[in-house]
Amino acid sequence: MWVCITGTAMAAAGDIRRFDVEVRRFERQDATNPPPTDAVLFTGSSSIVKWTRLREDFVGLPVLNRGFGGSTWRELNHYFPQLVAKYHPRAVVVYEGDNDLAQGRSVAECVADFEEFRRLMHACLPDVPVAILTVKASPSRRTQRPVQEQLNAEVRRRLEGESGWTVLEVGRVLLDASGEPRPELFETDQLHLRRAGYALWVPVLRPWLDKFAGP
């Protein structure tokens, strides 16, 4: 069934299976409460996990949240069959890269993992549109900002002219007039968004969703 991902360069090092329990929980949820068919799939790290009001924010669209923990691009690739391909989504929205850089991975390593995700999508879900959300600047990861911007720029460059793939700039709306992240939009950890932060993301995503994933 998963011949399309045979031979993928899924990571084997470290704790690549650290989210197995969370993935099994999703599988149990699917069995008892089947997700909507042909859904808009949101996946990635905790910025997706904590977006708990997706349905209210995107009324009229069948949305499915499959964000998991403090995940990375490498881990999303590892769980691609269970968290992306199995749902046959109408569109995919991804937030990854934030934790990758915070864990010390280079921009080049992050881009390689992003390209692996891209390969998986082309192999398994070639006609499904994808929106990549830019890595956001946050007060707690202020020192990461230069590499975050480098990663965002490189992903944009690689997707330039790529039909069906879009980079959505979700970081800029969180900045003040001086270009610094607004602390009041973040939780006390100054990393994860409060409701007010997600509210600013909605108008960034909505036009793309209406165009590529609307009824």
Condensed to tens digits (0 to 9), the pLDDT of residues 174-197 reads 999 999 999 999 999 999 999 999
Residue ranges with strand state E in 51-173: 63-67, 91-95, 130-133, 165-168
CATH class of the domain comprising 19-212: alpha beta
CA distance 41 to 58: 12
For residues 171 and 136, the answer to whether their CB atoms sit within 8 Å is yes
Owner of token pair 């089947």: 34
Give this prediction's pTM.
0.93
Q: What is the DSSP string of 144-182?
A: GHHHHHHHHHHHHHHHTT-TTEEEE--SGGGB-TTS-B-
Instruction: Summarize pLDDT for 119-176 with one digit per residue, the tens.
Output: 999 999 999 999 999 999 999 999 999 999 999 999 999 999 999 999 999 999 999 9
